[in-house]
Structure 1
Amino acid sequence: MTAAAPPVGDPPPADVAAPADVAARGPRPRRGIAGWIVIGVVLLLVGGVGAALAGLSQWVARDALDPESAGPAGTGALAEVLREHGVEVTVARDRSSAQKALLAADATLVMPDTPALSDGGVENLAAAAEDVVLIDPRSRTLRLLLPGSRPAGYGSGDVVEPGCDLADAQRAGAILPGAVASTTGDAIACYPSGDGYGLLVHDDGSQRISAVDGRTLFANESLAENGNAALAINLMGRHPQLVWYMPGIGDTDLATKDPSLGELTPPWVSPVIVLLLFSAVGAAIWRGRRFGPLVPERLPVTVRVSETTEGRARLYARSRDAVHAADQLRLSALARLSRLLGLGPAASATEIADAAADRLGWDRRAVRGILIEELPRDDAQLVALRDRLSHLEGAVRQAVRPERNAQ
Structure 2
Amino acid sequence: MSLLEVPVTAAQPPGTRRQRRRAGVLVGALVLAVLLLVALLSPRTNRESMSPSSVAPAGARALAQVLGEQGVRVREERSWAAVQDALGGAGAGAGEGATVLVTAPELLSADRLRALAASGADLVLLRPRAAALEALADGVGVGPTSAAADRDPGCAVPAAVAAGRARAGGTAYAVAPGAPALSCYGGSYVQVQPLEPGGGRLVVLGQPGLLTNRWVAQEGNAALALHVLGGREELVWYLPDPLDTESAPVPLGQLVPGWVAPATLLLLLAALTAALWRGRRLGRLVPEPLPVVVRAAETVEGHGRLYATAGAAGRAADLLRGAAVRRLRAVVRLDATAPVTDVADQVAWLTGRAPAQVRELLAGPAPRDDAALVRLAGDLDALERSVRGDSPRKAIQ
Same fold (TM over 0.5): yes
The alignment partner of 1:330 has SS state of helix
Partner residue, 2:182: 188
Does residue 100 of structure 1 match 2:85?
yes
Normalised by the length of structure 2, the TM-score is 0.59
Question: How big is each residue's C-alpha offset from its partner over 1:215-254, in whole Å with a ceiling of 9 and x where there is no partner?
Answer: 3110122211111111111011111122121111321123
Question: How much has 1:110 moved relative to structure 2?
Answer: 0.7
Does residue 404 of structure 1 match 2:397?
no
Question: How much has 1:73 moved relative to structure 2?
Answer: 1.5
The alignment partner of 1:178 has SS state of strand
Partner residue, 2:241: 248
**Partners of 2:135 and 2:189 in 1: CA distance:** 17
Partner residue, 1:82: 67
Question: How big is each residue's C-alpha offset from its partner over 1:336-369, in whole Å with a ceiling of 9 and x where there is no partner?
Answer: 6679999985577799899999965559988656
Change (3 A) 1:376 1:315: farther
Q: In the TM superposition, what are the counterparts of 1:329-368 in structure 2 within 5 Å?
A: 329-335=320-326, 360-361=355-356
Q: In the TM superposition, what are the counterparts of 1:283-298 in structure 2 within 5 Å?
A: none
Question: How much has 1:174 moved relative to structure 2?
Answer: 0.9
Question: How much has 1:319 moved relative to structure 2?
Answer: 4.2
**Partners of 2:302 and 2:175 in 1: CA distance:** 104
Does residue 207 of structure 1 match 2:200?
yes
**Partners of 2:362 and 2:174 in 1: CA distance:** 108
The alignment partner of 1:388 has SS state of helix
Quick one: which of 50, 61, 69 aligns to 2:46?
Answer: 61
The alignment partner of 2:185 has SS state of strand
Normalised by the length of structure 1, the TM-score is 0.57
Aligned residues: 289
**Partners of 2:84 and 2:236 in 1: CA distance:** 9
Aligned 8 A contact 1:134 1:212 in 2: yes
**Partners of 2:249 and 2:205 in 1: CA distance:** 32
**Partners of 1:116 and 1:182 in 2: CA distance:** 19
**Partners of 1:170 and 1:176 in 2: CA distance:** 14
Change (3 A) 1:225 1:355: farther
Partner residue, 1:198: 188
Change (3 A) 1:319 1:258: same
Change (3 A) 1:366 1:100: closer
Change (3 A) 1:66 1:155: same
Quick one: which of 54, 58, 66 aligns to 1:73?
Answer: 58
Structure 1: gaps of 5 or more residues: 1-58, 262-310
Aligned 8 A contact 2:104 2:240 in 1: no
More deviation, 220-229/337-346: 337-346
**Partners of 1:129 and 1:359 in 2: CA distance:** 118
Partner residue, 2:217: 224
Change (3 A) 1:226 1:97: same
Question: How big is each residue's C-alpha offset from its partner over 1:109-142, in whole Å with a ceiling of 9 and x where there is no partner?
Answer: 1112233332222222332142111123223223
Change (3 A) 1:321 1:147: farther
The alignment partner of 2:166 has SS state of coil
Report the RMSD for the aligned CA atoms in angstroms: 4.4
**Partners of 2:173 and 2:203 in 1: CA distance:** 13
Change (3 A) 1:317 1:132: closer
Partner residue, 2:164: 173
Higher relative contact order (CA 8 A, sep 6+): 1
Aligned 8 A contact 1:109 1:132 in 2: yes
Structure 2: gaps of 5 or more residues: 1-43, 255-293, 308-314
Change (3 A) 1:63 1:132: same
Partner residue, 2:21: none
Change (3 A) 1:362 1:100: closer
Aligned 8 A contact 1:73 1:215 in 2: no
Question: How much has 1:87 moved relative to structure 2?
Answer: 0.9
Task: Letter of the 1:78 partner, please give it.
Answer: L
Q: State percent identity of aligned pairs.
A: 32
Partner residue, 2:297: 314
